[in-house]
Amino acid sequence: MEHVLKQAGDLSGKVVVSCSLPMNADDTGLVIGHTTSGAEELAKKIGRGKVVSAFGTVPSEVFFGVYDARPKAKRPSMAYCGDDDHSKKIAATLITDVGFEAIDAGRLRIARYLEPLALLMGQVAHETRGRLGDRVSI
Ligand SMILES: NC(=O)c1ccc[n+]([C@@H]2O[C@H](COP(=O)([O-])OP(=O)(O)OC[C@H]3O[C@@H](n4cnc5c(N)ncnc54)[C@H](OP(=O)(O)O)[C@@H]3O)[C@@H](O)[C@H]2O)c1
């Protein structure tokens, strides 16, 4: 995270929408949880309340299908959370533009629940690949 933040440069005034999960080196589990989350740790490092946790609960394989289905399909839901209302509005617009119904899940600490949910989604998506269709979301 330090390396990437250094490359990102000055983030003051920026909204940071993070789909990242705090995974271990071999991607088999979360390294933190329960009392904090990857999104909260990121917010501490950035030093401002502009982080929104979103998009991590959805496997990337579904994005094009959801986007293409926007005009006609019932929208699948996507939860997001954050501490700054303006940043959350921007994230909600992105979520809606991609084709999901944006669900405000509350403060950034709710990322403690979104992140493990993302692992469940990844497990289900990869175990049942080909049967989920293109609208899977929680
Ligand atoms: N894929 C999904 O369905 C999914 C779902 C939920 C959450 N997520 C989360 O989304 C994040 C990205 O996942 P992904 O599947 O897109 O992974 P990915 O395909 O492995 O892509 C990771 C990207 O990060 C870049 N990167 C890695 N280390 C870096 C560093 N030190 N400095 C600068 N760039 C660096 C890589 O650059 P290079 O190409 O140059 O290596 C690559 O572009 C992860 O935190 C993952 O947990 C993914």
Nearest atom (ligand 1) to Cα of 27: 47
Q: Is 30 in the pocket of ligand 1 (CB under 6 A)?
A: no
pLDDT given for residue 127 in this prediction: 74
**Contacts with 10 (C-beta within 8 Å, 6 or more apart), sequence order:** none
Note whether 81 and 52 are within 8 A (CB).
yes
pLDDT given for residue 72 in this prediction: 84
Nearest-angstrom CA–CA distance, 73 and 63: 14
Distance 20 CA to ligand 1 centre (A): 8
Spans of all domains in the chain: 2-127
Nearest-angstrom CA–CA distance, 70 and 49: 31
What is the percent of the chain where pLDDT is above 90?
A: 70
129 pLDDT above the threshold of 90:
no
- Residue-wise pLDDT for 84-125, tens only, equals 999 999 999 999 999 999 999 999 999 999 999 999 888 887
Nearest-angstrom CA–CA distance, 47 and 133: 39
pLDDT given for residue 14 in this prediction: 92
Q: Is 60 in the pocket of ligand 1 (CB under 6 A)?
A: yes
Note whether 117 and 30 are within 8 A (CB).
no
| CA neighbor of 84 nearest in space, from 128, 130, 53 | 53
For 4, 18, 90, 124, 138, the CA distances from 117, given in Å and listed in that order, are: 24, 15, 23, 11, 8
Architecture of the domain whose range is 2-127: 3-Layer(aba) Sandwich (3.40)
- Residue-wise pLDDT for 30-73, tens only, equals 999 999 999 999 999 997 779 999 999 998 888 998 999 999 88
Burial 116-127 (b: 16+ CB within 10 A, else e): bebbebbeebee
